[in-house]
Copies of this chain bind each other. A is one copy, B any other.
Amino acid sequence: MRKTVCDLHAELVRNSLVAWTAGNVSGRIPGEDLFVIKPSGVSYDELTPEAMVVCDLDGNLVEGDHAPSSDTAAHAYVYRHLPEVGGVVHTHSTYASAWASRNEPIPCVLTAMADEFGGQIPVGPFALIGDDSIGQGIVETLSGARSPAVLMRNHGVFTIGKDPKAAVKAAVMCEDVARTVHIARQLGEPLPIPQADIDRLYDRYQNVYGQRSTR
């Protein structure tokens, strides 16, 4: 799991989701109340499986030589309250954060968005770091929603998945559709996709292809 989570950080870089050290991936250790997360302030180039840290579901450091990511409390809160979640990703990816700063959900006007998100990508509340506010905002917004991604107001994106790779995929797709819909709206209004078609696309993608099974 250390290696998996470590390697997935390279996907954040490769997909241009992160600047400097501002993004992190975590993964729940199957069968245990523990998760692996990025250490704080370490650059992506220097990440090794050994440098990854292990925390319990209250966000306390259990194993590792570095302090855990400053976003650990939010990850821990998600694992504590959403037992089906096996991976969490946080980024400040550009287009998604732009929607978040305007407090606007991303409307579902692309079939790829219907597939992956099943509708719009919602915005969660403004919340300060330092206590459980961010975690609560994520869990409240995503509970009962189809979307594995939430735009946290004036902040950035959190995504969840059955495992860390699924959460990274959601983060990549979230930025991709955030960018495409932004660009579409710059020169007019995209046509809506009827709800019944969104439902059909989502059901097919989740069931026929079965690429997300946590929700």
Contact = CB atoms under 8 A, between A and B. Distances in A.
A20 B211 contact: no
A19 B153 contact: no
A129 B209 contact: no
B102 A129 contact: no
Interface in A90-137: 92, 94-95, 97-99, 101-104, 109-112, 126, 128-130
A190 B154 contact: yes
Interface residues of A, number: 54
A27 interface: no
Contacts of A102: 184, 187-191
Interface string A180-201: 1111111111110100010011
Contacts of A58: none
Contacts of A184: 97-99, 101-102
A185 B186 CA distance: 10
A89 B124 CA distance: 36
A42 interface: no
Given A184-B102, A186-B182, A197 B128 contact: yes
Contact of A191 (B154, B172, B200): B154
Nearest to A170: B20
Contacts of A98: 180-181, 183-184, 186-187, 190
B180 A92 contact: yes
Given A129-B111, A209-B40, A101 B173 contact: no
A180 B182 CA distance: 12
Interface of A: 15, 19-20, 22, 40-41, 70, 92, 94-95, 97-99, 101-104, 109-112, 126, 128-130, 153-156, 169, 172-173, 176, 179-191, 193, 197, 200-201, 204, 208-209, 211
Given A92-B110, A102-B189, A154-B193, 7 more contacts: A19-B176, A94-B180, A101-B110, A111-B155, A112-B156, A153-B191, A186-B187
